[in-house]
Amino acid sequence: MEVVAGIVQVTRVLVVAFFAVASVVAGTHWAVKHGHLSPFGPLPRFSRRLGQPLLRPFERRLYRSGGNPVNAPYALFWVALIGGLALIALVQWLIGTVLALLSSAESGPRSLLAFGVNAIFSVLMLCIFVRVVASWFGVSPYSKPMRVVHALSDWLIEPLRKVLPPFGMLDLSPIVAYFMLYLARGLLLSWL
């Protein structure tokens, strides 16, 4: 268990260090842009040298997508913040999943089957959740990640859309599908 705690702790330290660098780069950029610092002072020059290797990919990406490459420090800041939190959550989830799998394997085949059933239903429910949140932000269903999400959830949502009456602007089929998966998972796990 000490190794697991060590992995999580190292991940947190790396994320905090990356976030600190991104904060210094973005904060200095903001201070120079708003006239609070001279662009030729020691802090802005240090910040440029520190952030330049990190900012180049963001500048290229912003330029290609039609954005302003000057905003790359802000993009770096948000990626460091949101991506860092997502990375910590992903590491903790992966470790928890591996530990649960090992525990299930030690408990016998019935427990391993219950783990598999729970994992399958969790993935399907996550796909429905991602699909709903992506629709709020206008993410194209034809992008590569969303094609996978739709492929895993269409088999349940599309028949429900044909059966359920429209409820104004709300599409209740994902909610009903999520609830059905939740009940089916509970029923199957109670049998195992």
Q: 101-112, pLDDT tens digit by residue?
A: 888 889 888 888
Average pLDDT over residues 136-158: 90
**Where does the pLDDT of residue 127 fall: very low under 50, low under 70, confident under 90, or very high at 90 and above?**
very high
Of 185, 187, 191, 164, nearest in space to 175 by CA = 164
Kindly state the tokens that stand for 18.
């990356």
**Where does the pLDDT of residue 2 fall: very low under 50, low under 70, confident under 90, or very high at 90 and above?**
confident
Work out whether the CA dihedral 163, 166, 169, 172 comes out positive or negative.
negative
Question: In this structure, what are the phi and psi dihedrals at residue 72, rounded to the nearest 5 degrees?
Answer: -60, -40
The predicted structure's pLDDT at residue 78: 93
**Distance of alpha carbon 174 from alpha carbon 159, whole angstroms:** 11
In 3-state terms, what secondary structure has residue 166?
coil
pTM value is: 0.72
pLDDT digits (tens, 9 = 90+) for 128-145: 999 999 988 888 889 898
